[in-house]
Structure 1
């Protein structure tokens, strides 16, 4: 999906790591939400509350889920992070991403 329709967007940015990671929250009519953002090169660690789908739309990074191995996305790709877990990122180039918050099945 290239664009979203019939949504509400938070005007204020979510800012992390001194501005090296930023996003905007997008709310859908069905109550779900996503964040759209960019990450500058660097090393980061995030923690989840809900299961997350990380859709990388551009850039190069490596990610590591808790207890896992480093994996690389170069250009585009998707990975999933379980609820209540942390994950590490090593961002090599500017990364454009969309994070979807998913209900556990």
Structure 2
């Protein structure tokens, strides 16, 4: 199993993440600065808020939902979702 960490930066350095692989699979841990973002998925993602909050418009939903510290939401593969960040927020994303 690879112990190499991958570092990614998106949206002009407003979102940064560190990717890892371990016995639980592939994950990223990251931080989002204040702003609005659109993400696309290539596999199922489990997004957990570690600190702060994310206001999310999930695929096929009309309403925005706010997820706070300890909350998790799931986005299926090959979907797009929008995120509004009102305060700098840390997250964990696990991929399946």
| TM-score normalised by length of structure 1 | 0.83
State the match for 2:76 in structure 1: 82
**1:59, 1:76 within 8 Å by CA — same for their partners in 2?**
no
**RMSD across aligned C-alpha pairs, in angstroms?**
1.8
**1:100 corresponding residue in structure 2:** 94
The corresponding residue for 1:21 is: 15
- Would you say the 8 A contact 1:7–1:29 is kept in 2? no
Work out whether 1:8 is the aligned partner of 2:8. no
Which residue in the other structure is 1:34 paired with? 27
Q: Aligned pair count?
A: 95
| Map of 2:53 onto structure 1 | 60
**d(CA) in 2 for partners of 1:101, 1:75:** 19
Deviation of 1:75 (Å): 2.9
Query: Partners in 2 of 1:97 and 1:60 — Cα distance?
Result: 9
> How far 1:7 sits from its partner (Å)?
7.5
Partner deviation per Cα, 1:17-63 (whole Å, 9 max, x = no partner): 00000001111146x21001000010000000100000111102200
1:3 aligns with none
Q: Please, which runs of 5 or more residues in structure 2 have no aligned partner?
A: none
Distance 2:48 2:12 in 1: 23
